[in-house]
Amino acid sequence: MKYTYKFKIDVPTFRKALYFNAFARNRAQLGFVAAAWAGAAVLAGLDLFGRLELTNVVQICYIVVLLSMPLLIFSCERGWREYRDSGLQERERSVSVSEDWVKFCISGDANSDKVEWHNISAIFELFDEFVIYRDADQMVVLPKSVISNEDMLVLRSLFIRKLGRSYKLRASVPEGACIKA
Tell me: the pLDDT tens digits for 120-149?
A: 999 999 999 999 998 877 899 999 999 999
**CA–CA dist 147, 3 (Å, integer):** 9
Where do the domains of the chain lie?
A: 3-10+89-169, 12-87
**Which regions of the chain are under pLDDT 70?**
110-111, 172-181
pLDDT of res. 181? 43
**CA–CA dist 28, 59 (Å, integer):** 25
CATH code of 3-10+89-169, in short, is 2.30.29.30
pLDDT of res. 91? 92
pLDDT of res. 174? 55
pLDDT of res. 100? 95
